[in-house]
Amino acid sequence: HYIAPADVARVVDVLDALSLEEVEAEEQLAEEVDALYEEALEEFKNSMSLAQTEEQKAKIFHNLGNTFLKSQKLQESIGAYKEALKINPNDLETKYNLSYALKQMQNQQNNQQNQQNQDQQDQNQDQNQDEQDQNQDQENKDQEEKQDQNQQNQDQQQNQQQNPEPKDEISK
d(CA 75, CA 162): 88
pLDDT tens digits, 3-60: 566 666 666 666 666 666 666 767 787 787 777 777 777 777 777 778 889 998 899 8
Are the beta carbons of 100 and 72 closer than 8 angstroms?
no
Q: Going by C-beta distance under 8 Å and a sequence separation of 6 or more, which residues neighbour residue 43? A: none
The structure's pTM equals 0.53
pLDDT tens digits, 98-146: 999 999 999 999 988 988 888 888 888 888 888 888 888 888 888 888 8
DSSP 8-state symbol, 171: P
Indicate the length of the chain as a whole number. Answer: 172
- Residue 50: is it exposed, middle or buried by C-beta count within 10 angstroms (0-12/13-18/19+)? exposed
Are the beta carbons of 76 and 68 closer than 8 angstroms?
yes
